[in-house]
Chains A and B, each alone.
Chain A
Amino acid sequence: MTTTATSTSPARRVSSLLGWASLILVGATVGLGLVLPKTQEQAEYSRLIAVHPPAAWASYVAVGVAAVAAIGHLVTRRASWDRVTIASLEVGAVFTAITLATGSIWGRPTWGVWWEWDARLTTEALLLAVLLGAVALRRSLAPGRGRAVITSVAALATVGLLPVIHFSVLWWRSQHQVGTLLSPDPASNADNPYIVAMLLGFVAFSVLFAWLVVQRVRIEALEEAYDEVLLDRAITDRRAEARPASEVPV
């Protein structure tokens, strides 16, 4: 029988703790980003260094967590792992979208256009498409063990795909330009406050990721519990359709 996080106290405490922590950390990151002095070349846009690489990092973490949870489910066949898988895939899609949006905005002043087939952004764009496909697949399946297995396989395929996508896009772009203009390499934005903002951002977004996954897992657990209740009711109704004295084994 499934237990929901709302009913157990320690889980609820962890969830609250994560929630507050992420609120504070993200707030601090954004604050730091706004307070930092701007660079010469990129003006206000350089503040996005506090947010863009951390969002990309979170999207990779999401894929990794989804893969681990997928293996966990395939090995133990327990629904709790499956819930983490789908939660990570969905939250990962959100962070990937944020990465794309911030990357596009950041690139605008440097490139002059909203998109320039930068290596990392292209990888993230493909990743987003793959993640959305996996989520769409899950949405079209009826709840049950089958759906969990298919989701796990899709998650594992996604994580295996990531290095292939990464290298192919990287080599593709390296043929045409010296380096990506959105380098997270601190050497290109060598001032210390930027590194601090970025590192804080990494921590903040990781915590935010964890909190979002926990919430999504709770929602999934509640949906499954609701489903069980409906099912029990349906079985009872169905049995009532038959005439009495129908339980004698034949």
Chain B
Amino acid sequence: MWADAGLVAGKDLRIELRSRVALHQVLPFSFVVLVLFAFALDPDRDVLQRAAPGLFWVAVLLTSLLATQRSFAIEAADGNRDGLRMSGLDPAGLFLGKAGAVAAQLLLLEALLLFGVSVLYGIALRSFGLLALTCLLATLGLAAAGTVYGAMSFGLRVRETLLPLLVLPVLAPVLLAATRSFEAALGGAPRETFGWLGLLAAFAALYAVVGLFGFGPLLEES
């Protein structure tokens, strides 16, 4: 299983390196979202600063949608979805590989976005350890859940419109918990993060389990 996961993750990341979709399209998209928030809200910096953690995570959420869509789009080139099924790869390994590649790309994007938020909204970053841990746990959850729902909608022609409807309500708790964790960390109350981090871990664990066991049947039957 791990060998297959490594093979698939390597393949996905190599495709990203060659096509640079995350770099040239997804990253600018998330920065545009940050800028749009600034336009929508009071230009008075206080509002942006208070809302910054939430806005950051909304941007990350929307970005994860794009990343997940892309992860499955590359498997369905030519309208041909048989490649994954015919490959002979272990489905649990497939799930780990795909989710892992999405998670890796998201983590990189989040690091850049964090830098963007601190500059654009004037946030002083502190408690890097807790911020990083929040990002890690939240990202694992986003990648796992996104990959599960991506597989559910993989075979459908309405995939592009159905996936956001399916996945955004599911990701709402991640948004909530990650935002609160960021607020606590940035606000100098590190102990308050622990409950939220626990929630993020529980979410990631739930969808990791669903993905490991369900990805195979989902892929076959969609």
Which chain A residues have a beta carbon within 8 Å of chain B's beta carbons?
A: 126, 129-130, 132-134, 136-137, 140-141, 144-147, 149-150, 153-154, 156-157, 160-161, 163-165, 167-169, 171-172, 175
A/B interface sample: 10 pairs, CB < 8 A? A133-B165, A136-B166, A140-B158, A141-B222, A156-B214, A157-B148, A163-B202, A164-B199, A169-B176, A171-B195
Q: Which residues of A contact B169 (CB under 8 A)?
A: 126, 129-130, 133
User: Interface with A: B31-39, B101-109, B125-133, B203-211, which one?
Assistant: B203-211
Q: Are B166 and A164 in contact (CB under 8 A)?
A: no
Q: Is the pair B152, A168 in contact by a Cβ cutoff of 8 Å? A: no
Chain B interface main SS type: helix
Q: Are A136 and B170 in contact (CB under 8 A)?
A: no
Interface residue? B21 (CB, 8 A): no
Interface centre among B153, B176, B180, B220 (most CB of A within 10 A): B176
Interface residue B74 (Cβ < 8 Å from any Cβ of A): no
Please judge, given known A-B contacts A147-B221, A150-B218, whether A161 and B156 are in contact too, CB under 8 Å: no
Given A136-B162, A137-B162, verify A145-B206 contact (CB < 8 Å).
no
Query: How extensive is the interface on chain B, given as a class?
Result: 20 to 34
> Which residues in B have their C-beta under 8 angstroms from that of A126?
169, 172-173
CA distance in complex: A249, B166 (Å): 47
List residues of chain B with CB within 8 A of the CB of A134.
166
Query: A-B pairs with CB below 8 Å: how many?
Result: 85
Cβ of B217 under 8 Å from chain A = yes
Q: Chain A nearest CB: distance from B152 CB in Å? A: 6
Identify which of B156, B170, B206, B207 contacts A141 (C-beta below 8 A): B156
Give chain B's interface residues, CB within 8 Å of chain A. 148, 152-153, 156, 158, 162, 165-170, 172-173, 176-177, 180, 195-196, 199, 202-203, 206-207, 210, 214, 217-218, 220-222
Besides the known contacts A130-B169, A149-B218, 7 further A-B residue pairs in the complex with CB atoms under 8 A apart: A133-B165, A141-B222, A146-B222, A147-B221, A149-B217, A153-B148, A157-B148
Residues of B within 8 A of A163 (CB): 202
| A168 and B222 contact, CB distance less than 8 A | no
Residues from chain B with Cβ under 8 Å of A133 in the complex:
165-167, 169-170
Residues of chain A lying within 8 A (CB to CB) of residue B217: 149-150, 153
Report Cα–Cα, A226/B104, bound state, in Å: 48
Least CB separation from A130: chain B residue: B169
CA distance A156 to B207 in the complex (A): 10
Name which residue of chain B comes closest to A147, CB basis.
Answer: B221
Q: Which residues of A contact B168 (CB under 8 A)?
A: 129
| Closest chain A CB from B204 CB (angstroms) | 10
Question: A149-B217, A149-B221, A168-B173 given as contacts; is B180 within 8 A of A137 (CB)?
Answer: no
Chain A residues within 8 Å of B165, by CB = 132-133, 136
Q: Are B173 and A164 in contact (CB under 8 A)?
A: yes
Q: Which residues of B contact A146 (CB under 8 A)?
A: 220-222
A144 to B221, CA, bound (A): 9
Complex Cα–Cα for A126 and B218 (A): 24
Contacts of A140 in B (CB 8 A): 156, 158, 162
